[in-house]
Chains A and B, each alone.
Chain A
């Protein structure tokens, strides 16, 4: 699908141009106030991320990793969206992210400083001094973002196909120009496969923090590259954005799984270890506690409540939460799952209640065949029924 990236100086009219262009073309506009993944910068302060990290082994190092992972998730969401929709992306390094994308058009909107100050004063009722200070800060922040994240300078003209100076070209004329330009450019007929989109994210296979169990079952045929939990989360974020819903200010972030000496995750509960063994047995790949979703937050992006589903099964793109605990905790978990479904209606999550789990074990003959205590996970021998 077509992608237009708009990089703009504060006060250049770039945001207005992007909005008008979206109206004229029907492209999906991804601007900062509307879309949650653009707001992931709100948790740039890693001090906020750690609040919900239940286990953080190497504290500072982990926080730094979590911070860059957030950016990666935002980028994943952008790529996912671009594979399905015509997009106008404002800021966020789109000109670099989609630098090599066939059909992408990279536009930079600039204006002389006096014009920018005047526009900001008129739009936001600021004094000249306030406007100038805000512009300086914005220029600094945006330049720093592009430099640290992508190693480029925002003002490098080679990043863009078109640079419009609204000091001379009125914004409305810029919109007309862009509409004509888009009509004149050859259109990509086919949807862009996600794989062909330039990626700076890590591979799909096992990665730290998302231990993917590689199925050893040779007879299982699975899709070659099913989406990882992070990618599934990004898709859910993208789907929410595509519905035009304003999002939570904090993106899902990768949970740090603790690995044991054998390289396998350390499970929080024996039932989780047993569940993983059942999945292994049937060649169903899984990730353990791969992603944390924010469920409640303050206005400034501080996370108040979060949820980390126990498992993600990439082959069936399903999150699974096991609840084998007491009822009071089940109620709390039910609330969290409900909230997660509200936030991300396109995310598949299944709750496995204590009862389901017990029946699963019974199905596999892992319960007690005779009066007496129920044995542990490695207990019983007899099995029969199918699952």
Chain B
């Protein structure tokens, strides 16, 4: 498939970084069995690759939340549309995210998870775009700091397109496409 724009992070770079993050997480959580939690759907590719680089026992769970602007949403307020199946009270929890920019979603999510009283709660994000950050968050692991560009691929989409690209590319503003 043709890249929608310049490749920002190659497949090889992703693999190397996943190995490094996996090793780091394995070392940091070697005395416990952490629960890794991801939010559907953007982080799935990262979650799958990252967890296969982790050498300690882990548990996995998934959350889904409503997104701003969804037609099905009439309340104007974010909702959990798929809750956790694992009880995280007293557990070490690591939230695995694809990208953090404003921090609004993750801030909401961390507040939500904190109320379940986990033993610890940290964040691992593949991409961090600090330029647009509104809310500061406890990010423990960062794959890549990225410039202030709109990126797609490796789980990240634009209107459901480009998710399955094996690399991360910049979606450029094409004439007539985006403004």
| A residues apposed to B, CB below 8 Å | 216-217, 219-222, 277-284, 313, 316, 318, 320, 350, 352, 355-356, 358-360, 362-369, 371-372, 374, 380-387
How far, in Å, is B172 (CB) from chain A's closest CB? 12
Task: Find chain A residues with CB under 8 A from B102 CB.
Answer: 360, 363, 387
B98 to A, closest residue via Cβ: A386
Establish whether residues A350 and B134, one from each chain, have CB atoms under 8 Å apart when the complex forms: yes
CA separation between A316 and B157, bound complex, in Å?
29
Bound complex: CA of A222 vs CA of B76, how far in Å?
19
Contact B148 A355 (CB under 8 A): yes
Point out the residue from B68, B77, B108, B134 that lies within 8 Å of A383, measured CB to CB: B68
A152 to chain B, nearest CB (A): 44
In the bound complex, do residue A362 and residue B67 qualify as a contact, i.e. CB atoms below 8 Å apart? no
B134 & A386 in contact (Cβ 8 Å cutoff) = no
Contact A385 B77 (CB under 8 A): no
**Is the Cβ of B105 less than 8 Å from the Cβ of A386?**
yes
Which residues 64-80 of B have a CB within 8 angstroms of A? Answer: 67-71, 76-78, 80
Q: Is the CB–CB distance between A371 and B176 below 8 Å?
A: yes
User: Using Cβ atoms and an 8 Å threshold, which residues of chain B touch A284?
Assistant: 104, 107, 134-135
A281–B76 CB distance below 8 A: yes
Would A281 and B78 count as touching, CB distance under 8 A?
yes
> What is the predominant secondary structure among interface residues of chain A facing chain B?
loop
Q: Digit string of B121-143 for contact with A (CB within 8 Å is 1, else 0)?
A: 00000000001101110000000
Q: Check: B169 CB closer than 8 A to any chain A CB.
A: no
Q: Give the 3 A-B CB pairs with smallest separation, nearest first.
A: A369-B159, A383-B67, A282-B104
- B154–chain A nearest beta-carbon distance, Å: 12
With most chain A CB atoms within 10 A of its CB, the pick from B76, B102, B108, B156 is: B102
* Residue B50 interfacial (CB < 8 Å): no
A-facing residues in B152-179 (Cβ within 8 Å): 156-160, 176-179
Q: Cα distance A384–B108 when bound, in Å? A: 16
A382 contacts which of B39, B43, B114, B160 (Cβ < 8 Å)? B160
Interface SS of chain B? loop
Kindly state the separation between the CA atoms of A24 and B9 in the bound complex, as whole angstroms. 62
Contacts of B132 in A (CB 8 A): 352, 356, 359-360
Q: Judging by beta carbons under 8 Å apart, are A383 and B97 in contact?
A: no
Give the docked Cα–Cα distance between A386 and B43 (Å). Answer: 9
User: Among A282, A320, A364, which residue has its beta carbon within 8 angstroms of that of B108?
Assistant: A282
A-B contacts, 24 listed (Cβ < 8 Å): A217-B77, A219-B112, A220-B111, A281-B78, A282-B107, A282-B108, A283-B111, A284-B135, A352-B132, A358-B179, A359-B101, A360-B132, A363-B102, A364-B68, A365-B67, A366-B69, A380-B69, A382-B159, A383-B68, A385-B157, A385-B158, A386-B43, A386-B97, A386-B105
Q: B17 interface residue, CB < 8 Å from A?
A: no
Minimum CB distance partner of A222 in chain B: B111
How long is the Cα–Cα vector from A283 to B76 in the complex, in angstroms?
10
Contacting pair A221 B111 (CB below 8 A): yes
Closest partner residue, chain A, to B103 (CB atom): A387
Q: B99, A386: Cβ atoms under 8 Å?
A: yes
Q: How far is the CB of A284 from chain B (nearest CB, A)?
A: 6
Q: Which residues from A are CB-within-8-Å of B101?
A: 359-360, 363, 387
Report A215 CB to chain B, min CB distance, Å. 8
In the complex, residue of chain A having the shortest beta-carbon distance to the beta carbon of B72:
A381
Q: Name the contact of A316 in the complex, choosing from B111, B136, B148, B177 (C-beta under 8 A).
A: B136
Q: Which residues of B contact A217 (CB under 8 A)?
A: 77-78, 108
Whether B178 lies near A278 (C-beta < 8 A) is no
Across-interface contacts of B177 in A (CB, < 8 A) = 368, 371
The distance in angstroms between the C-alpha atoms of A356 and B68, with both chains bound, is: 16
Chain A residue contacts of B69, Cβ below 8 A: 364-366, 380-381, 383
Q: Which residues from B are CB-within-8-Å of A281?
A: 68, 76-78
Q: With contacts A316-B134, A384-B159 known, what are 12 further pairs, Cβ within 8 A?
A: A217-B77, A282-B104, A283-B77, A318-B134, A356-B148, A359-B150, A371-B177, A383-B68, A385-B157, A387-B68, A387-B102, A387-B103
